[in-house]
Structure 1
Amino acid sequence: MNAPLALGLDLGGTKTAGALITGDGTVLARARAATPAARGARAVLGTIADVVRELLAQAPGPVLGLGLGAAGTIDPASASVVAATDTLPGWTGTRLRPGLSEALHDVAPAAWVGGSPRIEAVNDVHAHGLGEAWLGAAAGAPTALLVAFGTGVGGSFLVDGVPLTGGHHVGGHVGHVPSVQAAGLPCSCGATGHLEAIAAGPALAARYARLGGAAVDTPEVIARAGAGEALASRVVQAAATAAGEGLAGLANALDPHRLVVSGGLADAGPTWWDPVLRAYRAAALPAVRAAVPVKASLGGDAATLGAASLLLRGTPPA
């Protein structure tokens, strides 16, 4: 088989997902494993290597290498982890190219085009953005902003399909813009009043419990709000309003041609989406209201497709 092949990996705090992908974005195989986060970087790299071996066993020919979308602040030029949260203890400072090359030392050279793997890496939300800009909801847009509302809040601003990571590689950390709705609420970064402190899924559930609700997960709070429970409705309304205002502020500043929303909360239905869109329209400048937020379309394949595109399309982040 002469068509180019690459592996796309999506590393999170709980799972490591991978896919074998062709040059036109066809997914030939998928694999996944639990991320051994508590055991440190060496164990995490070993798990990535295990997923890679499983996918290589299904490859119809040599593979270019692997692209990795990883949690944390990633320097794409050196493929190293600049900073990471306690979700992945010991991850900060990890040099991904030598680390993964060592973990894959037993793989035969014939498995790789040229005898050794190319290894590229980017932050996981930038990987989502790359995937959606290639084959998803942002395809064809000259500029696109993807914002993910899930375990945290992250983003990626892409120009001609290339994510801008900024001078310190923290571009896209949109969860850490100030939010009036989050005044006084502690954020995962140690500050207070950031968008993530109210608009992320766990923050929503924690606020519901703190205000007197049961200790339930985010989908249950959404379901209770949809059923008309007053406290759940108030909590979801506040979180969704903060999300919509945050999206509008970013759109006002960046003026993207396409504004895409992903993450677990994007699947919450009208209970979440309706107040998001109301808040967005109220806060967006007239000229950018036409860029109405739309839902991401690639689901769980977005990050692996985006990571693989680093090799298949030659789109390194700027």
Structure 2
Amino acid sequence: MSEAPKPRVVAGEAVAALDIGGTKTAAAIVTRHGEVVDRVTAATPGRAGATAILDTAADLVDRLRARATGTHIRALGVGSAGVVDHRTGRVLSATDVLAGWAGTDLSGRLRELLGLPVAVINDVHAHALGEARHGVAAGYETTLFIAVGTGIGASFVVGGTVLAGAHSAAGHAGHQPSPYAGQLPCTCGGQGHLEAIASGPGLTEEYVRRTGQPVDDLRAVAARAADGDATAREVVLLGGAAVGSAVGGLINMLDPGAVVVGGGVTGLGEPWWQALRDAVRRETLPSLDDVPVLASTLGSDAPLIGAASLAWEGIA
């Protein structure tokens, strides 16, 4: 478990926030203005089941509350992996990385454990809210957020509200067909989807297919590209172009005020970003050429800030 070494005590009111992911769970205390004043993290016990995951999350919040002297924690906002019913706070489906997570009454069980009002949303939607309300997209009426990491997700924010969809499943951008993916198998069971070629694991596997050389992860591919490996550079550019092509199509459909791109794969650097932006411009209609494509500025705090903003909304 890790934590901020010197939490800043804030007198008055604040909310707690949770970001529950497949490998890590983070908790924070957040002000009404979106300022993270304290945070702690722990490994998510994903294989141990829902009870262990919830106990870990609740323990993190309790740790923060114990040292938030003079601060009244009003509510809890949660961004969670999986498809989450934003109306009930129940997890509708999840990958097997979080064993037994599907069907969990996330809102109800955390309310029982912590005695706080709880607002729950999917983690990608929480990230989008953070950037739209307090980050690089603040001030835009509509924001399309794209997260490119182990998977590829999206969120569309209109007037500060996420459009979660009729089945709370909006945003599976990685599972749209991509011409760059060919017939590659996707983690969802389909073929030829964007995630199969442009996610972190997808790009790593593409490098192995092209070279026959095993690599540990995308960081190793990025290091080889930086060292002059031509194939590694081609793979980096491919990833950016594939995401950019998809983003361009989404811009044509949604006409957002701004696009924000975040996630671990964005760390591939300027060559990846340039390939993405070039592909966006090749795909977008002339009248949409000026839609800005921005890098996420809040980083790993974004889902915490977004989830906290939902908690504040519920008690405003």
TM-score category of the 2 structures, normalised to the smaller one: over 0.9
Distance 2:14 2:235 in 1: 45
Distance 1:14 1:90 in 2: 15
1:7-26 counterparts in 2 under 5 A?
Answer: 7-26=16-35
Distance 2:300 2:264 in 1: 10
Contact preservation (8 Å) 1:225, 1:271: no
1:93 aligns with 2:92: no
Match of 2:36 in 1: 27
**Consecutive unaligned residues in structure 2, runs of 5 or more:** 1-9
Distance 2:107 2:270 in 1: 43
One-letter code aligned to 1:188: T
Match of 1:107 in 2: none
Distance 1:300 1:101 in 2: 24
Quote the offset at 1:103 in angstroms. Answer: 3.2
In terms of mean alpha carbon deviation, does 145-154 or 228-237 score higher?
228-237
Quote the offset at 1:238 in angstroms. Answer: 1.8
One-letter code aligned to 2:194: L
1:99-110 counterparts in 2 under 5 A?
Answer: 99-104=109-114
One-letter code aligned to 1:259: V
Match of 1:195 in 2: 194
Instruction: Normalising by structure 1, report the TM-score.
Output: 0.92
Alpha-carbon distance change, 202 to 315 in structure 1, aligned in 2, over 3 angstroms = farther
One-letter code aligned to 2:61: V
One-letter code aligned to 2:92: V
Quote the offset at 1:219 in angstroms. Answer: 1.8
Quote the offset at 1:215 in angstroms. Answer: 1.7
1:117 aligns with 2:116: yes
One-letter code aligned to 2:188: C
Quote the offset at 1:129 in angstroms. Answer: 0.5
**Structure 1 counterpart SS, 2:67:** coil
1:235 aligns with 2:235: yes
Distance 1:161 1:289 in 2: 24
Aligned residue pair count: 305
Distance 1:248 1:97 in 2: 36
Match of 1:132 in 2: 131
1:29-68 counterparts in 2 under 5 A?
Answer: 29-59=38-68, 60-68=70-78
Distance 1:257 1:44 in 2: 37
Distance 1:168 1:119 in 2: 20
Match of 1:109 in 2: none
Quote the offset at 1:222 in angstroms. Answer: 1.8
Query: For the aligned residues, what is the CA RMSD?
Result: 1.6
Quote the offset at 1:283 in angstroms. Answer: 1.1
Distance 1:176 1:30 in 2: 33
Deviation by residue 1:246-289 (Cα, 9 ceiling, x = unmatched) = 11011110010010000012222112111111111111111212
Distance 2:129 2:268 in 1: 23
One-letter code aligned to 2:31: T
Distance 2:263 2:42 in 1: 20
Distance 2:175 2:231 in 1: 26
Match of 1:289 in 2: 289
**Structure 2 counterpart SS, 1:250:** helix
Match of 2:159 in 1: 160
Match of 2:267 in 1: 267
Distance 2:227 2:253 in 1: 36
Quote the offset at 1:209 in angstroms. Answer: 1.6
**Consecutive unaligned residues in structure 1, runs of 5 or more:** 105-115
Contact preservation (8 Å) 2:215, 2:221: no
Quote the offset at 1:202 in angstroms. Answer: 1.3
In terms of mean alpha carbon deviation, does 176-185 or 227-236 score higher?
227-236
In terms of mean alpha carbon deviation, does 265-274 or 85-94 score higher?
265-274
Contact preservation (8 Å) 2:121, 2:307: yes
Match of 1:256 in 2: 256
Deviation by residue 1:83-131 (Cα, 9 ceiling, x = unmatched) = 1011211100000122223433xxxxxxxxxxx4111110000000010
Distance 1:51 1:235 in 2: 39
Match of 1:76 in 2: 86
Matched-pair identity in %: 46
Deviation by residue 1:128-149 (Cα, 9 ceiling, x = unmatched) = 0010011111101000000010
